Structure 1
Amino acid sequence: MKFDNQLRYATTILSSYWGGTPLHTWLKDFFRQHKQMGSNDRKTVSNMVYAFYRLGHAVRGMPVDQRILLGLFFVHDQPGELLAYFRPEWNAQASRPLEEKIALVHHAGIDFSPAEIFPWKDELSEGIDHHAFCLSFLRQPDLFLRIRPGYEQLALSRTKEVAHEFIPPFTLRLPNGTKVEALFTPDKEVVIQDYSSQRIAGFLRPTASPVIFWDACAASGGKSILAYDTIPGISITVSDIRESILKNLQQRFRQAGITQFYSFVADLTRKDTALSSDTLPYNLVLADVPCTGSGTWSRTPEELFFFNPGKILTYSAAQRAIVGNILPRLAPGAGFVYTTCSVFRKENEAIAGLVREKFGLRQEQAGAIKGYDEKADTMFGARFSTMRDS
């Protein structure tokens, strides 16, 4: 009876939720309205809902309750009570490799195709393995921390009793759900930052001294802290379209020990937006632009399920406008880094081509930052340089 009730709750949620609000936020509201559900029920039902969405656009015609169970079979690599109750034959095979599970499902007469999880293969950036990318949705990504300078020994000592992997020079991989605050002071000792985002450090190479850095779409400021930690003597300017975001960023900066910086609000999609001239021109600029976020959907699979592909062109147009407003502010010989957390070519290579062909910057490196085979996000990064004065 317990498992039947949990399945009913999950199907009720899936018939009521229509995207828009992040799923984790929506679920909190739902559980507040259903106080009779205990903590174990809430956790199990949440897992069932996420398992449903992890199937993306595959088997969308399957009944909701059956799709939930199929998702659970693929997502979990150990037997469990719930699957044993509904599908004991699948539960007995739960620890088998994913490809073998898919073959078992086919043998049972279910027409499941991994390629349908993410159906926009022709829109992908170069070098992304569509099959591997699709399969990555069937597992929860890991939690990644970046160890800040001076805290390396402390971080490794505090994680001795916790399952972890150290990835040189400064990355810790931990199981998702690890209570970071119980181990560290976030932003002071470590930064919670996806592995692929940490790899942006390789693009942030100074071209002059002192480094006058502008994080043009700063959001929560994680990449500015990364620049601060990896470039000595950097002068930081941050901007974002949202004043509330910049206020949160300032709190993070205080925790990180960054006391000298300049910030301003700007809508970089508009040609008439007012920009500060106090520290112009910049000799290192990062544009981590707003995007579809498609490289992060293994963390938020509901966004994959509800995605409207027409949004690709909407974001691409905004990205073109942002780049067009940023590039005139670069000093001669400056470095320009363009990044997205998207896997779509129109947001990635197409914009890199615009930077080269319309604005005449020299491309030094570009390509997908593949996280789908690392239980991490997948991003795109490109680095350019402006012409030096003769």
Structure 2
Amino acid sequence: MTPAARLSAAIGILDRVLAGTPAEQALTNWGRASRFAGSGDRHAVRDLVFDAIRNRRSHAALGGAETGRGLILGGLRAAGVNPDTLFTGEGHAPGPVTAGEQPQTPSELAALDCPDWLAPALQASLGGDFAPVMETLRHRAPVFLRVNTARLSRDAAIARLAAEGIGTRPHPLAETALEVTGNARKIQISPSYLEGLAELQDAASQAVVAALPLHAGQSVLDYCAGGGGKTLAMAARAELRLYAHDAAPQRMADLPARAARAGVAVTVLAGADVPRHAPYDLVLADVPCTGSGSWRRAPEAKWALTPARLAELCALQARILDTIAPLVAAGGHLAYATCSLLEPENQAQIAAFRQRHSGWHVTAERRFTPLEGGDGFYLAVLARK
């Protein structure tokens, strides 16, 4: 495909996304219908689509319309590319730019690709970091690996990955973290990945696990395990009796195989089984949230979020905290985590929990923002008296 044909493909996909089709589904449908597109074409079109979604407001202003064509046109202008060189109408290229497709100056919030209604809450939560964080979220996220340090050192992992053609460098957020600098698309077929020596995991997510009070012999429950990334990261830190649960069990479908690959044991629990293994020395709940700290990776979530959904998530987070508190052993710990930047999902939740439940005190609290390189995360560790 020519560069102009890739733009046309991205325009069509974005029109379907704007009409309500999830981006991954729209890309998959296009790929199945476009057998002529090689892997390079598919990767390039995917990058165009997700860059447009991350920058939906600003690109729509620069492109003159919130349409697939407008977003791609605005993206070219934002990159300093004259769209007339690609919007030629020749072959599979988009049609020429019209007089009505002139750029508009984005408002301050539009230039940061921030939803208007969320700006006050984000500004209150982030303070002086608001604009830099929102600017960072407009760009593609780095790719990180977690080294399974139970089996090899980080330096050894760097050397091994380099021999497999994958460039990496240490990242300061966690002693297990590597930032991928080259050939990221080779990771999932590399021997290091397939043998469980390295896993894809955000650096801030690794830092959350590094901050947990873990030691050998503990009984630990990952209550909102999802795919199990933090479960496996905890297993690499110490020999634990490790349990994993998720309200949507299908999210954990790959966890047993991943655990076996990493050489660790994890017991997957259905909801009814969770209390039977209590009490736990540590319960981690990386709760459902807005995902505002990871909008670089999941940009559709930024535009889909509503005040009603935020309120629903806050209520769910409170219910989860109330559910897991009785599962913690006397003297044990509850770890609450979100990948959110919003104070109502973070500090306010912990303050409200302590008002509802006596006998808990905060022993550690951390907030990470994308300015540190990884996703935005919040962690509070509470001890039970």
Q: Structure 1 unaligned runs (5+)?
A: 88-107, 267-273
Task: Kindly indicate whether residue 340 of structure 2 is the aligned counterpart of residue 342 of structure 1.
Answer: yes
Q: Aligned partner of 1:15: which letter? A: D
Give the deviation of 1:34 after TM superposition: 2.8
> For residue 27 of structure 2, what is the aligned residue in structure 1?
27
Under a length normalisation based on structure 2, what TM-score does the superposition of the two structures give? Answer: 0.81
1:43-62 equivalence runs, <5 A? 43-58=43-58, 60=60, 62=64
> For residue 126 of structure 1, what is the aligned residue in structure 2?
125
Cα distance between partner residues in 2 of 1:73 and 1:303: 25
Please give the secondary structure, in 1, of the residue aligned with 2:245. strand
> For residue 112 of structure 1, what is the aligned residue in structure 2?
106
Q: After TM superposition, where is structure 1 displaced by more than 6 Å over at least 4 residues in a row?
A: none
Give the deviation of 1:32 after TM superposition: 0.9
Give the deviation of 1:289 after TM superposition: 0.9
> For residue 364 of structure 1, what is the aligned residue in structure 2?
363
> For residue 90 of structure 2, what is the aligned residue in structure 1?
none
Q: Structure 1 residues 312 and 9 mapped into 2: Cα distance closer, same or farther (>3 Å)?
A: same
Cα distance between partner residues in 1 of 2:83 and 2:139: 17
Range 211-220 or range 235-244, more displaced: 235-244
Cα distance between partner residues in 2 of 1:163 and 1:251: 26
Q: Structure 1 residues 66 and 127 mapped into 2: Cα distance closer, same or farther (>3 Å)?
A: closer
Q: Structure 2 unaligned runs (5+)?
A: 88-101
**Kept after mapping to 2: 8 A contact 1:341/1:379:** yes
> For residue 177 of structure 1, what is the aligned residue in structure 2?
184
> For residue 210 of structure 1, what is the aligned residue in structure 2?
217
**Kept after mapping to 1: 8 A contact 2:59/2:73:** no
Give the deviation of 1:359 after TM superposition: 1.2
Range 347-356 or range 179-188, more displaced: 179-188
**Kept after mapping to 1: 8 A contact 2:6/2:41:** yes
**Kept after mapping to 2: 8 A contact 1:3/1:85:** no
Under a length normalisation based on structure 1, what TM-score does the superposition of the two structures give? Answer: 0.80
**Kept after mapping to 1: 8 A contact 2:161/2:192:** no
Please give the secondary structure, in 2, of the residue aligned with 1:164. strand
Q: Structure 1 residues 228 and 384 mapped into 2: Cα distance closer, same or farther (>3 Å)?
A: same
> For residue 290 of structure 1, what is the aligned residue in structure 2?
288
Q: Aligned partner of 2:145: which letter? A: L
Task: Kindly indicate whether residue 255 of structure 2 is the aligned counterpart of residue 256 of structure 1.
Answer: no
Q: Structure 1 residues 84 and 47 mapped into 2: Cα distance closer, same or farther (>3 Å)?
A: farther
Please give the secondary structure, in 1, of the residue aligned with 2:138. coil
Give the deviation of 1:23 after TM superposition: 1.6
Structure number with the bigger relative contact order (C-alpha 8 A, sep ≥ 6) is 1
Q: How many positions carry a matched residue from both structures? A: 352
Cα distance between partner residues in 2 of 1:73 and 1:304: 23
> In structure 1, which of residues 152, 155, 158 is the aligned counterpart of residue 157 of structure 2?
155
Q: Aligned partner of 1:136: which letter? A: T
> For residue 197 of structure 1, what is the aligned residue in structure 2?
205
Q: Structure 1 residues 35 and 313 mapped into 2: Cα distance closer, same or farther (>3 Å)?
A: same
Please give the secondary structure, in 1, of the residue aligned with 2:193. coil
Cα distance between partner residues in 2 of 1:290 and 1:122: 22
Cα distance between partner residues in 2 of 1:226 and 1:12: 40
> In structure 1, which of residues 241, 245, 250 is the aligned counterpart of residue 251 of structure 2?
245
Q: Aligned partner of 1:146: which letter? A: R
> For residue 301 of structure 1, what is the aligned residue in structure 2?
299
Range 297-306 or range 19-28, more displaced: 19-28
Q: Aligned partner of 1:248: which letter? A: D
Q: Aligned partner of 1:368: which letter? A: R
Q: Structure 1 residues 4 and 188 mapped into 2: Cα distance closer, same or farther (>3 Å)?
A: closer
Q: Structure 1 residues 310 and 186 mapped into 2: Cα distance closer, same or farther (>3 Å)?
A: farther
Cα distance between partner residues in 1 of 2:24 and 2:160: 29
Please give the secondary structure, in 2, of the residue aligned with 1:368. strand
Q: Structure 1 residues 20 and 289 mapped into 2: Cα distance closer, same or farther (>3 Å)?
A: farther
Give per-residue Cα distances to partners, 1:287-314, cap 9 Å, x unaligned.
Answer: 1111222211111222323333321111
Range 188-197 or range 40-49, more displaced: 40-49
> For residue 99 of structure 2, what is the aligned residue in structure 1?
none
Cα distance between partner residues in 2 of 1:291 and 1:73: 34
Give per-residue Cα distances to partners, 1:307-341, cap 9 Å, x unaligned.
Answer: 33321111111111111111011111111110011
